[in-house]
Amino acid sequence: MTQPEALERELRRAAAAVDSSPPEFTRAADQAGLVDIAYATTDSPLGPLLLAATPAGLVRLAYVDFEHQDDVLEELAARVSPRVLAVPRKLDEPRRELEQYFVGGRHTFDVPIDWQLTNGFARRVLEATAQIPYGRVSSYREVAELAGSPRGFRAAGNALGSNPIPIVVPCHRVLHSGGGLGGYTGGLDRKRSLLAIERGQGTLA
């Protein structure tokens, strides 16, 4: 068995166990090109976050006190690739942009997005949501219409509820037509906090 094959075997074991790996193994796997999904955790004013990226871009952001970290990593291993490993330096840019956002210093995210965890109408809804400007809000009906189904506002709500990249894809900016908050992955307190910072009512420092 060659060294890359041995590293890949160990990486698959680590992904299956959703366990941490020693730094030397992480470096070797990364250098051998065996990491398809790099992830890192980071603290934020909204609680701990897990960020995961593929070579194409940010593929997952999760509130890990709402979605268990092991469950998120197992989902990534099953749906994207079992080559999942903690490589924090590969998430430096999205972490930096999030820090700037929370203190009011960033109004748009520049990190590329990997949309592969969503498709069809749900993806169109999230792509429409990603275009809602900072400090503005839209409605479930409006994003459904932009996604090509004016009557699909309930399905739009489901798509937003399963948004794999909250904050960066700003589903918190979508409200009920009458102004009600609607739902939010991670809880309505987080949705209120994000809307407050974007309305200039303080920062999440």
Q: Nearest Cα to 113, choosing from 180, 44, 188, 164? A: 164
What is the amino acid identity at position 20? S
Of all residues in the chain, the percent with pLDDT exceeding 90 is 74
Residue found under tokens 């094959």: 5
SS3 125: helix
pLDDT score recorded for residue 33: 61
Q: Which domain holds residue 163?
A: 120-198
- pLDDT tens for 108-126 read 999 999 999 999 999 999 9
Residue found under tokens 């999230």: 126
Residue 17: pLDDT band (50, 70, 90) is very low
| CATH code assigned at 89 | 3.30.160
User: Active-site positions?
Assistant: 171
- What is the reported pTM? 0.83
Evaluate whether residue 107 is within a structural domain.
Answer: no
Q: What angle do CA 201, 63, 153 make, to 5 degrees?
A: 75
Mean pLDDT of the chain: 87
Asked if residue 186 and residue 132 are part of one domain, the reply reads yes
Asked if residue 96 and residue 128 are part of one domain, the reply reads no
Asked if residue 131 and residue 43 are part of one domain, the reply reads no
Asked if residue 145 and residue 81 are part of one domain, the reply reads no
- Judge contact between 37 and 164, C-beta under 8 A: no
Residue found under tokens 């809000």: 137
| CATH code assigned at 162 | 1.10.10.10
- Judge contact between 87 and 35, C-beta under 8 A: yes
SS3 96: helix
